[in-house]
Amino acid sequence: MLKVSHLERTYPAQPGGAAVQALKSVSLSVEQGDIFSLLGPSGCGKTTMLQCIAGLETPDAGRIVIGGETVYSRDERIHLPANERGLGMVFQSYAIWPHMSVAENVAFPLLQRGRNPGREQIARRVDDALAMVELAGYGNRSATQLSGGQQQRIALARALVHKPRLLLLDEPLSNLDAKLRDTMRIELRRLIKSIGITAIFVTHDQVEAMGMSDRVALMRAGKVIQVGTSKEIYLNPHSAFAADFMGSGNLVACTISDVDNDRAVTTTPFGQIQAKVAAGLRAGDDAILVIRPNAPIIHTQPVDAQGDLAQIPGNVSSVTFLGEKIEVRVCLSGGYDFVVTMNTFEAPVEGQKVYLTLPAERCIVVHKDHPVSSAARSVDLEGLAA
């Protein structure tokens, strides 16, 4: 449905600054009917990417094909203006026009490019669109009288009323409060799926990306780091950055002592641990061992470690109550501070001795990041510690 190949975009240097390479030869492919997320920290190029697809931004090189039609190609000198791409878009600020009524906002796309389907047709389609977002009867209201959640649904109705071939969503949930965000996320996904439209969704929140999308492209510094379902990226990240961004985790510097098929034996500050291994890693490499906080099985007594199970003793140094779960810091041998989450009803006490059992399929060894990234991560880790 959407094919992006080798897209490049560099913002020219502003006075007193350097040029910013927002997209570095990015390629993507999105299937018909998928909800596809562009996920990454701010400044990773995800919004530039969306703007290029929408036509609001002109790339420097590459090619964009929507539904078989090339809308941008530098080599063929094609650049279809944004208003001729036939897309729908929901903006971060919703961009509801305050000088128009709700119905006028929603009817706007139906009247563009010389179209005028007639009064009844417009009224019917606006009503349908409003009913679809459960705002039937709101047509005559002024757009400014609505709440944030309602405005967002108006924006969605406006983006869908002209039956676009592709729906673009630019952080649509970021302006809602936390509770509403959760409901809207589920609602949005149900709606998009019921229409069957292909959607591109930009977000910096991995929970949103996981909850909304069929597939995720994790972006960073103008590049796509990893593409896959959220489960794939969460369980099998290729790099420390992907592991860290898709959820919290203990990232342990280690050395790979042995690799056998998809398993590796790693040497860590607290002993040898068996784990799955990301493609391209060999014995002797310095790598990162990723252990999710909910991966270890915790015992208060030592148990028999069999097969690929590793068992590490430690002392509980702090217990933080978070409601649905508790966060426990365990001081392992070698002074390593390890974070695990536990069931609220099984809280250990501080100073208690515990044993962490680590099944190999719950651990993964990934590539170390480039120097830029490790700096960024250590900041994150500091933030976590504070």
From 108, 174, 232, 325, residue interacting with another protein (rule: CB under 8 A): 108
Smallest separation (angstroms) from another protein to the CB of 9: 16
67 lies in the binding site for another protein (CB under 8 A): yes
116-135 residues labelled b (16+ CB within 10 A) or e (exposed): eeeeeebeebbeebbebbeb
Q: Between residue 236 and residue 275, which ones bind another protein under the rule CB under 8 A?
A: none
CA 141 vs CA 87, 145, 199: distances in Å: 26, 7, 28
Q: Yes or no: say if 4 and 27 are a contact pair by the CB < 8 Å rule.
A: yes
Phi, psi (deg, nearest 5) at residue 97: -75, 115
Q: How many residues at the interface with another protein, by CB under 8 A?
A: 37
Smallest separation (angstroms) from another protein to the CB of 88: 7
Phi, psi (deg, nearest 5) at residue 315: -115, 135
Q: Which is nearer to another protein, 85 or 204 (CB)?
A: 85
Please give the torsion angle defined by the CA atoms of residues 21, 378, 46 and 289, in that order, rounded to the nearest 10 degrees: 110
Type of residue numbered 173: L
Q: Which is nearer to another protein, 117 or 269 (CB)?
A: 117
Q: Which is nearer to another protein, 97 or 229 (CB)?
A: 97
Q: Return the range that interacts with another protein (CB under 8 A); candidates 34-42, 77-85, 128-136, 175-183.
A: 77-85
Residues 6 or more apart in contact with residue 24 via CB below 8 angstroms = 8, 45, 221, 222, 223
58 lies in the binding site for another protein (CB under 8 A): no
24 lies in the binding site for another protein (CB under 8 A): no
Extract the tokens encoding 207. Answer: 């929970």
Site string for another protein, 112-151 (x = CB under 8 A): xxxxxx----------------------------------
From 13, 19, 58, 95, residue interacting with another protein (rule: CB under 8 A): 95
Q: Which is nearer to another protein, 165 or 223 (CB)?
A: 165
From 46, 153, 158, 181, residue interacting with another protein (rule: CB under 8 A): 158
Give the Cα separation of 69 and 15 in Å (integer): 38
Give the Cα separation of 279 and 264 in Å (integer): 11
From 35, 54, 199, 330, residue interacting with another protein (rule: CB under 8 A): 54
Q: Return the range that interacts with another protein (CB under 8 A); candidates 22-30, 154-162, 180-188, 307-315.
A: 154-162
347 lies in the binding site for another protein (CB under 8 A): no
330-362 residues labelled b (16+ CB within 10 A) or e (exposed): bebeeeeebbbbbeeeeebeeeeebbbbbebeb
Q: Which is nearer to another protein, 30 or 366 (CB)?
A: 30
From 15, 16, 17, 98, residue interacting with another protein (rule: CB under 8 A): 98
Phi, psi (deg, nearest 5) at residue 126: -65, -45
Type of residue numbered 16: G
Binding site for another protein (CB under 8 A): 54-56, 67, 81-89, 91-93, 95, 97-99, 108-109, 112-117, 155, 158-159, 162-165, 168, 197
